[in-house]
Each structure stands twice: as C-alpha cells, then as structure tokens.
Chains A and B, each alone.
Chain A
Amino acid sequence: SRTKRARKPRPCDLRKLVLKVSELGLGYESDEEMVLKYCSGRCTAHRQNYDLTMRHMVQTAFHNQRRDKVSSGPCCRPTAFEEALTFLDNRSRYHIIQNVSAKNCGCV
C-alpha cells in the first residue's frame, strides 16, 4: 500500500523545509535556520473550461499563428504569505525578510 500511496500525485498544499537563511538565495549571510513554507502539488482537480481550452489552443490556434505562452492549468501558488522573518546575520546585524514564506496555498 505504501508504494501505491507514493505514486499517487498529491494535491496542492503547504509544505515545510528547514534551512539556513543563507540558503534562500537572497544574498544574506546568516547561519540562522528557519522554516520555509512553500506550495507544491497537483491542481488537476481545479481545472476550468478555460484551462482545457487553453491547452487546446496551444496545440492548435496559438501554435500556428502566435507565440503566446499560456499556462495550461491552474498553478499551486501562495495565496498569502507569512508575516516577515527577522534574523541576525553573521555580522550580528538584524534584517527583515518579507514575503518569503507561504501561509496558504491555492490553485490559481
């Protein structure tokens, strides 16, 4: 049953990761560790007619006439961010980072 569950795609939800502030890629040098919450998972269940049409358009009409890029389905994205995080960098200065950690996720 374990392998079956592993294969089944999970729906869009909030996930957590513990990592150092310097690993966020924002240019801060701090070994302080934090929880990064992010959104991941499938949004298949949230497809609208719009998405089905767009997928079709990419394959037919857009493909021939335009080079427009459209997403062919709703994206699993943060719908709200956690309040800002403060930390001390490795030179003992305080910083604030905003909108880095997701609070809620949605298929939008």
Chain B
Amino acid sequence: MILINIISLLLLLGACVSESETGPPGWREPPDCVRASELCNQNSQCSSRYRIMRQCLSGGDKERSAMLASRECQGALEVLQESPLYDCRCKRGMKKELQCLQNFWSIHMGLTEGEEFYETSPYEPIHFSEEFRHASIISDSSLSKLSPCSEAGKPCNPCLDAAKACNLNETCKRLRFAYNSICSKATPPQSSVANQEPCSRKRCQKALRQFFERVSWELSYPLLFCSCPDQACAERRRRTIVPSCSHQERHRPSCLELRHTCRSDALCRSRLADFHTNCQVTPHTATSCPHDNYHGCLMSYVGLIGSDVTPNYSDNSPSNISISLWCSCRGGGQQEAQCEAFHRDFTHNTCLKNAILSFGYGAEGGGASVTELPSTFLGPAQPPVISKPAPSLHAIKPMDSACVFSTCANLQDGGQKCVSSEEFECEESLLARESMGSQDLAGPRSGGGGGKSPPGLQLCVGVLVLPALRRLSLL
C-alpha cells in the first residue's frame, strides 16, 4: 500500500518535472561556457586564439581598447566567433559558476568592448515555467488560508508568516541565521556590549547570496516580496536583507561609479546583465515585462542581492513600492543622463513593481499593479502601459496541486507526538517548572501549534525526486 502510494506520488511528480524541464520544442541548449572552453582547448587553433584573446583583455580599461583594436586581437576574435565559446551560456547556481562567467566575458567583453549600456546576459533564459504558477499556490491557497489575514480582527502580516515558514524549515532557518548573524550587529542577550563588532560587508553579501541560492524560492521570495497592509510589516520587509550592512554604506557613490565597480567583477556584471535582460520595461507586453515573465524578473532581481549593486526597498511604505540602489546621480555633469537612466531601471521599473506586487498579492494582484510611464531614455515615446497581472499567475489547475506535498514530514510527525504531556521523572525539573511559574510546555498551545502542518512548507521538490525516478526505472 505504501509502495503504491510512493509510486503514484513519484509518477505525479514525474509529470511535474517533465513539464517544467522541457523548453520550447526545437530549441537546442547552448553548451555551458566551462564545457565550451574545454572544447576549444581540444582544438589547437581555437586554443591558441583563446589564449591571445585573454591577453588582449588582460590590461586596464585604457590599454584594453587599444589592444582590442590591434590586428592580432581582431583576428583572434574572428576565429573565436565561430567557436562554441561564442554562444555558450551559464546556469544559475551551477558548479564552477564563476569560472563559467569568466569564460563568457573573456569573449563577450571583446565583442562589446564593455561600452554597451545593456549587455547580453550570460545566463540561460528563464523558461516560461510552470514553476511560477506554484508561487500562486503559496500565496493564494496555503498562506492565505492559514494566515491571520483571512481571520477578521487579527493583525495581518504576511511578512511575519514568511518568517515563520522559514523558521520551520531547517535549511531556511540555518541560512537565515547565518546571514543575519554576519550582517547584523545582532545583540546576544547578555554580552551585548562586549561582542559588538562592525559588520563585514563582503562576508554579509556572500552569506546573502548563499541564502538565496540554497533556500528554495518558495521560502525565500515570500520574505522579500510579501505584501504589506501597514508600515510595521513593510519595515520588516525592508529589513529582510539587513540593509544597514548589505545595502547602505557611509559614502553614497555615484550610480555610474557603482555600475563601473560592478562591471569589473564577473559575477556582479553577469547578474546586472541578467537583470537588464529580464526586468527591462517593454511596451510590448501587458505586464511591461519581457515575455510577461514575472518569475524571470524576480529571479534576476534576487540575483543582484549580495552583489555590489544590491537593490532594496527605499522606504517602509506598505503599498507604494519603491526600489533603489545605494547611489546618487547628483553632480554627475555630462554623464548625468546616463547615470539617471541606469538608476531609473531600478527606481521607475514598472515591470519589477508589477512582478513584486503580483507575487505578494497573489489573487488580488489585479487591483495592485502599477501603471506608470516607462523610462523615457529608451528611445521613442511609449504609450501608457496597461498593466494587468499575467493570466498564468492565477490559473491553478488541479495538476499543480498534485505536485505539492510536504517536505516536512519529520516536523509534522514530531509535532503530533508533542500533543500528549508526560510526567517527569525528575523532581528537580518539577521544581523548576513550579518556580518558573510557567505552563506545561506541552500544554494548551501544542494542539494548535505542533500538530498542524505549517503553512508555506508545501513544496514541489521535483528535482530531488529525479534520482528516485531513475532508480525506479532501473528495477
């Protein structure tokens, strides 16, 4: 009986996996850039040109353009454009991601000379996935059913619910603790003065990147994109990434300076290019997002957190969402327009705002999206955008719920066990309980708290099930 259940669950999940894994038909995946450079190195002509190309790009900013103009470098570039390195891409969170990105830029930097305002994203396109539909399961059904927001008279704070869901998951709790303790000057109760050390920005940003890379987005996105009815909630949302350490600095640099810093780092440069690819306001779609793909935009936004261009909410306004970088364009002189244009992609980005609102509000997203004129920097005047949330966000088919099951079986088992209270064998613990004047730990709350399945923990863990499926087919 159990076996049958497991098999049927795997089959359902198999359906879920295959649906989200298949790309558009006829679309062949480009090789990743680590593999591409291996292929290039097997060919003597390609590898020698690749070596030349890397030398062409090794100098500083000024030398580089002169070097690139030379005949040798141009020749190398020409050969490399025919190689697998030319159209290679990288996967988010892949093994050797940094190496892959460095390989990508080693040829693409030569193609553009780093002069382009928007650069090609080195990452694979984010498919129009079934995945994001699951987001609406979290925000529509699981959370809103269990969240206090649905109960009249109780305070409503979806960001608090997101924190709870994270606390109930071991990985999320552990990695949230990791970045919080590094980023915040958090005060342990006793030694509050003695232990206070200033935060290390670099370590903090690394811990943030790890949090968003390793925690499933079903748990991390609600912390960052929760919808808020009041300022207290919005302040919690704003503080999610511990902005005092990760976002703000004593000195507020020029936005172009910030962009320059970012572009000199392969990872930051890639994340920025990815953000521009996926969150660029477009007049051609209903949502203002490229291909109406909210998930793509949110994913690339999250990718920037922990980089030199870490964006964040600029205030604790609950409904009027405003995102910015820690930089300014005042006194930028000639380049002020370019500087503004760069920053406006964060501050006045209709696509990004719609994506955030749509994630946070789920079904009510229709009433919450923004209509705003997109940045005028981008050429011809554009008509006002009619914003409505992507239809895919709200259509929940029965199939979707089949992919959902709890990954928290242990916790629930444990929870149910908590219900009954036991006598203590120890006299001292009995004494202690009396002196504390506290209630029995397993008392009144446990029935409601421990036994119930926690909200937001229902995940589609299709990826984890793949090996299991393979094993099954071997039998």
Contact = CB atoms under 8 A, between A and B. Distances in A.
From A40, A83, A84, residue with most partner B Cβ within 10 Å: A40
Contacts of B236: 88, 92
A86 B186 contact: yes
A14 B429 CA distance: 16
Nearest to A9: B422
A31 B425 contact: no
User: Interface size for chain A: under 10, 10 to 19, 20 to 34, or 35 or more residues?
Assistant: 35 or more
Contacts of A97: 188-189
B181 A96 contact: yes
Given A25-B438, A86-B176, A31 B157 contact: yes
Interface string B417-434: 110111111111100000
B129 interface: no
Contacts of B414: 14-16
Contacts, number: 133
Interface in A7-21: 9-10, 13-19
B454 A96 contact: no
A83 B177 contact: yes
A86 B223 CA distance: 14
Contacts of A105: none
Contact of B427 (A13, A18, A72, A96): A72
B418 A15 contact: yes
B164 A33 contact: yes
B425 A33 contact: no
B180 interface: yes
A18 B426 contact: no
Contact of B242 (A25, A34, A94): A94
Interface in B293-319: none
Interface string B174-190: 10110011001011110
A17 B164 CA distance: 13
Contact of A86 (B180, B235, B424): B180
Main secondary structure, interface of B, reads helix
Contacts of B177: 83-86, 96
User: Interface size for chain B: under 10, 10 to 19, 20 to 34, or 35 or more residues?
Assistant: 35 or more
Interface string A9-53: 110011111110001011100011111101011111000000000
A33 B439 CA distance: 18
Contacts of A43: 425-426
B163 interface: yes
Interface string B240-260: 001000000000000000000
A68 to B, nearest CB: 13
Given A19-B445, A32-B163, A85-B173, A96 B423 contact: no
A90 interface: yes
B167 A95 contact: no
A92 B239 contact: yes
A44 to B, nearest CB: 7
Nearest to B195: A96
A94 B160 contact: no
A40 B242 contact: no
Contacts of B174: 83
B446 interface: yes
A14 B445 CA distance: 17
A27 B181 CA distance: 20
B380 to A, nearest CB: 44
A1 interface: no
Contacts of A98: 188
A35 to B, nearest CB: 6
B422 A41 contact: yes
Contact of A92 (B164, B187, B235, B425): B235
A17 B450 contact: yes
Given A32-B163, A72-B427, A84-B177, A96 B157 contact: no
Interface in B385-437: 411, 414-415, 417-418, 420-429, 436
A40 B441 contact: yes
Contacts of B75: none
B442 interface: yes
A9 B421 CA distance: 10
B79 interface: no
Contacts of B415: 16, 18
A17 B445 contact: yes
Contacts of A94: 180, 184, 186, 239, 242
29 contacts: A10-B420, A15-B417, A17-B441, A17-B446, A18-B164, A18-B168, A18-B450, A18-B454, A25-B436, A26-B189, A32-B160, A32-B164, A33-B163, A35-B167, A42-B423, A69-B427, A71-B427, A75-B424, A76-B426, A83-B174, A85-B173, A86-B177, A95-B187, A95-B188, A95-B189, A96-B181, A96-B186, A96-B187, A98-B188
Interface of A: 6, 9-10, 13-19, 23, 25-27, 31-36, 38, 40-44, 69, 71-76, 83-88, 90, 92, 94-98
Nearest 8 CB-CB pairings of A with B:
A18-B449, A86-B180, A75-B426, A94-B184, A33-B164, A16-B414, A94-B186, A34-B167
